């Protein structure tokens, strides 16, 4: 039994372990405002989507970057480089959202999302999942920088 399981993990990878590892290294909090004006704070924030392999098989993806299109290329903008995101909904329900991304270095640009992704994270009431196209603003904060600010304030 364990040999079959090991072979399956070697051939297919182990999304359970990669998701758990990502959850441990995903040290971002997201402050969001949705299209109706509701503000939320999501701990352990990441983007999520599923690829459908066949009728019953889906492969989950959890990432800590924003996949956007620039011409024909896909650009993966890392959460730690983002200062602020403004979301503009697509013209129709089928269209992807357009994001205005302001970077920490002062540069900004407008890009369409490369995939229809959802922002997921944890709240005091449970896990939150909201499609990015249904948000107005997103601000990512690194929990590592929050920890260092808290430890600096405690030492002073």
Distance CA 12, CA 18 (A): 12
| Contact indicator for 85, 137 with CB cutoff of 8 Å | yes
Q: Where are the domains of the chain?
A: 16-143
Of 102, 33, 18, residue with least CA distance to 64: 18
* Radius of gyration, alpha carbons of the chain: 18
Hey, what long-range contacts does 75-79 have (CB within 8 A, 24 or more apart)?
75/111, 75/114, 77/101, 77/103, 79/28, 79/45, 79/140, 79/142
The tens digit of pLDDT for each residue in 36-87 reads 999 999 999 999 999 989 989 999 999 999 999 999 999 999 999 999 999 9
The tens digit of pLDDT for each residue in 128-154 reads 999 999 999 999 999 875 444 444 334
């Amino acid at each position: 039994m364990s040999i079959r399981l090991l072979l399956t993990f070697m051939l297919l990878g182990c999304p359970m372990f990669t998701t758990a590892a990502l959850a441990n290294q995903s040290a971002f909090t997201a402050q969001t405002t949705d299209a109706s004006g509701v503000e939320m704070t999501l701990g352990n924030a990441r983007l999520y989507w599923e690829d459908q392999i066949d009728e019953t098989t889906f492969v989950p993806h959890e990432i800590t970057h924003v996949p956007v299109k620039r011409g024909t290329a896909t650009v993966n903008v890392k959460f730690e480089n983002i200062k602020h995101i403004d979301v503009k909904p697509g013209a129709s329900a089928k269209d992807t959202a357009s994001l205005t991304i302001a970077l920490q270095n002062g540069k900004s640009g407008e890009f369409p999302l490369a995939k229809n992704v959802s922002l997921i994270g944890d709240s005091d009431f449970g896990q939150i999942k909201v499609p990015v196209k249904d948000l107005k603003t997103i601000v990512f904060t690194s929990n590592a920088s929050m920890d260092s600010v808290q430890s600096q304030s405690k030492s002073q």
